[in-house]
Structure 1
Amino acid sequence: MAPTLPSTAQKTAPSSEPAVSVRAVNKVFGDFHAVRDASFDLPKGRFLTILGPSGSGKTTLLRMIAGFDAPTSGEIVIGGEPVKAVPPHKRLIGMVFQKLALFPHMTAAENVAFPLKMRRHDARTIPDKVERYLDLVRLGGYGGRRINELSGGQQQRVAIARALVFEPDLLLLDEPLAALDRKLREEMQLEFRRIQKELGVTTINVTHDQREALVVSDEIIVMDGGLIQQKAAPVGTYRTPANAFVANFIGVTNFIDGIFTDEGGRTAIRHGDLAIAGMVSETAAPAKGSAATGAVRAEQVRITGIGSELSGLDTIVTGTVTDAIFEGERIVYEVEVPAIGAGAFRVFDHDAEDHQQFAPGAAVRLGWNARDVHIFRK
């Protein structure tokens, strides 16, 4: 029987008050500035992922929202109330950690029931609520099993049910999928998305996995060096990166260094005799005549043999294949392009069966359009 749960419509009713507001938050550990002037609002019912490399400040920011660390300056507001003086256990927040912290001596049902008992819920209602949330995470019938009798994915589901069973206002996820193998991790990403959409619970997820961020999120914050580099929807983050760091961190991106110029009314990167037309970033626009870099993603580049045509493209260059890597659904070519400079230019071919395939040493032509090149200041 399908679980009877709070409806998404109830949970995500329009409100002028964000679920979470982070206002000019800084965190300093001695001489290390871990988070710098972070500010954002998260509407109710949205799934936000904070994405970045190790040391970017993403986990520190999550810990401050949870209440485990206090901001050095700035303010965090949850549900319209500043939470500086509210300890973690009094914030209506569910959490799932990379180390799940499940109790091995308890059954799955006892683990899920634990936060209800700690909050002194009516003992008569606990078994039914536990059963409903085990059903939600597709573990109906597994409540009597010990934790060591469950697979890694099933343990993840128990942790999710435990974090949600007391109906928190906010769910925080601290890289809970990092220890899983790739296939299981991708399955659990879809499960997180399904459960969050079904419940409508406001969620903040921290990860370094770019695919996870793109798959599960309504919005993505990209962090580096303690700074928020960009906050946007997944499509905007991927297709319109705010700066070279975001372009490089998400996806496989080729960079072309040169001088920013205006060629016949079109903005371009000039590298030697080659002018490469592109689109200027609004947030990281270079000055004319200054050093700049152009970013073009590997899947936007067309590849063909020297004797074949590449029509309708704004830039066409020649090169030599140095490697061809078969990845199942695509071939990744690494190409040396003298006109662009040192370093391998990466190209994805997703239709390898129908297209001509190129071995290392093959001469090829590459091409792309100006709309696929993002120009940033250096």
Structure 2
Amino acid sequence: MQEAIPAIAAAQAAGALPVAVAVRNVGMDFDGVPAVKDASFDLPRGKFLTILGPSGSGKTTLLRMIAGFQTPTAGEIFINGEAVSAVPPHRRSIGMVFQKLALFPHMTAAENVAFPLKMRRRDARTIPERVDRYLDLVKLGGYGGRRIHELSGGQQQRVAIARALVFEPDLLLLDEPLAALDRKLREEMQLEFRRIQRELGVTTINVTHDQREALVVSDEIIVMDKGEIQQIARPAITYRQPHNAFVANFIGVTNFLSGTVREVQGGLVSLVHGDLEIRGTTGDPQSPPKVGGTASGAIRAEQIRIAGDAGRLSELNMVIGGVVSDAIFEGERVVYEVTVAALGGAVLRVFDHDPEGHSQHEIGSKVVLGWNARDVLVFA
């Protein structure tokens, strides 16, 4: 574990940002069942990291170990270069916002925000000004005198954020704080989290199962599954270059086309499904498909084009016919489900992001689908 400190020092000497949180080979077992396995990553100071994954992936357990609520059964966690496994939560300079906000209902908004300052015995004369500043930061100036029940769900979230930040912690931890909000408010608060984090420059770790939230707010995303880190990358890389089939399937709407590998040449792969040849590129260069083996080509719904006749898609590498089995209007897009006989009756999901400019295809109508080989990522 101690090799983490020289590694951090070397990175900083090379001009990288100082590392706020370093996780080294951390594991957690519950009654012999691993919840987190050999997790390692560095989080530079001032960056926003989201740990993304389905229920049971280990993301919350990893966050709780960083917070100090659980002690790793293996590995070590460093905060600002200090090993913290033996440091209790109240001695770590960490602000937290939970899904259950745990605001004090008998206090006003201002009193809730002031509470951590009083607990830390800050100068009482400076507290009102600091509380007002942080209420202004979360756009609640003038609301300090209101009780918690007099605030909307979004306003309560803002109080919780101000309370977590008012004592200027080294690290802010967010444990699915937006999960209980309706979609519109959740999306508004995602932007607010990002604005506040950028304005203050506070190092932040967010845990969520919401893909959009992770893509919107983060500088980097860690994707977890079954206790293991699957990928660490910037949002655009995570979305466009998923490391494996799990990441490709978990983020976005992805169609999988399985087949037998006929040819692998450089980064290009040819799959055979019945009489159909599907061309794509290697999704994971470290584990490329092997000729004769089975593999799956992953293509996102928005990368498939749909038209009424093949002539409109003639410039694409792959063109194939199908029948519309469903069409869902979602306002900004139409989601089609198209049954493709040549793929053994597989149903492909396709997005049309221009429902105003395109004529809508009715259920039961024959259509043509098309895509380019570069849009298909093949995973062994």
What is the TM-score of this pair, normalised by structure 2?
A: 0.94
| Paired AA for residue 348 in structure 1 | F
Q: Aligned partners of 1:17 and 1:26: how far apart in 2?
A: 24
1:253-287 CA distances to partner (integer Å, 9 max, x unpaired)?
00001112327874222211211111102244222
Separation (CA, whole Å) in 2 of partners of 1:338 and 1:293: 18
Matched, 1:64 2:56: no
1:349 has 2:355 as partner: no
Residue matched to 2:222: 221
The CA distance in 1 between the partners of 2:313 and 2:104, in whole Å, is 61
The answer to whether 1:80 aligns with 2:84 is no
Do structure 1's residue 198 and structure 2's residue 187 form an aligned pair?
no
Letter in 2 for 1:82: A
Q: CA deviation at 1:373?
A: 0.5
Q: Is the 8 A contact 2:310 2:319 kept in 1?
A: no
Q: Which runs of 5+ in 2 are unaligned?
A: 1-14
Change (3 A) 1:259 1:171: same
Q: Map 1:20-35; keep pairs closer than 5 Å.
A: 20-35=21-36
Q: Which residue of 2 aligns with 1:267?
A: 269
Task: Name the counterpart of 2:313.
Answer: 310
Deviation at 1:341, TM superposition (A): 2.7
CA drift of 1:31 comes to 3.0
2:43 corresponds to = 42
Deviations 1:306-334 (A, max 9, x none): 36431221111111100000000010000
Q: Does 1:332 align with 2:335?
A: yes
Specify the alignment match of 1:245 in structure 2.
246
Kindly indicate whether the alpha-carbon contact (under 8 Å) linking 1:139 and 1:154 is maintained by their aligned counterparts in 2: yes
Corresponding residue of 1:135: 136
Tell me by how many angstroms 1:17 deviates: 3.7
- Alpha-carbon distance in 2 for matches of 1:369, 1:264: 17
Measured after TM superposition, the shift of residue 149 of structure 1 is 0.5
- 2:225, 2:345 → 1: CA distance? 26
Contact residue 20 and residue 203 of structure 2 kept, 8 A: yes
Instruction: Kindly provide the CA deviation profile for residues 37-77 of structure 1, in whole angstroms up to 9, marking residues without a partner as x.
Output: 10000001100000000000000000000000000100000
Task: Say if 1:263 and 1:275, in contact at 8 Å, map to a contact too.
Answer: no
Query: Is 2:301 the counterpart of 1:301?
Result: no
1:340 is aligned with what amino acid?
Answer: L
- Secondary structure of the residue that 1:267 maps to in structure 2? strand
Runs of 4+ in 1 over 2 A off after TM superposition: 14-17, 263-266, 306-309
What is the one-letter code of the residue matched to 1:33?
A: P
Kindly tell me the number of residue pairs found equivalent between the two proteins: 364
Which range moved further: 329-338 or 272-281? 272-281
- Distance, in Å, in 1 between the alignment partners of 2:123 and 2:234 is 41
**CA distance, structure 2, for counterparts of residue 375 and residue 73 of structure 1:** 35
Equivalent in the alignment of 2:256: 255
Greater Cα shift, 255-264 or 366-375:
255-264
| 1:159-196 per-position Cα deviation (integer Å, ceiling 9, x unaligned) | 00000000000000000000000000000000000000
Structure 1 residue 16: Cα displacement: 5.4
Do the aligned partners of 2:264 and 2:289 also contact (CA within 8 Å) in 1? Answer: no
What do residues 217-270 of structure 1 show as CA deviations (whole Å, max 9, x unaligned)? 000000000000000000000000000000000000000011123278742222
The amino acid of 2:354's aligned partner reads D
Answer whether contact 1:109 1:130 (CA < 8 A) is retained. Answer: yes
The answer to whether the aligner puts 1:280 opposite 2:282 as a matched pair is: yes
Distance 1:216 1:309 in 2: 37
SS in 1 for 2:270: strand
| Counterpart-to-counterpart distance in 2, 1:168 and 1:269 | 52
**What corresponds to 2:10 in structure 1?**
none
RMSD: 1.3
Question: Residue by residue, what CA displacement relative to the aligned partner does 1:184-214 show, whole Å, maximum 9, x if unpaired?
Answer: 0000000000000000000000000000000
Query: Which one-letter code corresponds to 1:289 in the other structure?
Result: G
**How far did 1:371 drift?**
1.0
Matched residue type, 2:77:
I
Q: Is residue 264–residue 291 contact of structure 2 (8 Å, CA) maintained in 1? A: no
Distance 2:193 2:303 in 1: 30
Other structure's SS at 1:215 match: helix
Counterpart secondary structure, 2:178:
coil
- Provide the rounded CA distance (Å) in 1 between the counterparts of 2:109 and 2:344: 58
Deviation of 1:356 (Å): 2.5
Q: Distance in 2 between matches of 1:374 and 1:341?
A: 20
In 2, the alpha carbon distance for the partners of 1:188 and 1:369 equals: 37
> What residue is the counterpart of 2:4 in the other structure?
none
Note if 1:323 corresponds to 2:326.
yes
- 1:92 equivalent in alignment to 2:107: no
State the alpha-carbon separation in 2 of the partners of residues 261 and 227 from structure 1.
Answer: 32
1:368 aligns with 2:371: yes
2:257 is paired with a residue whose SS is strand
> Shift of the alpha carbon at 1:15?
5.8
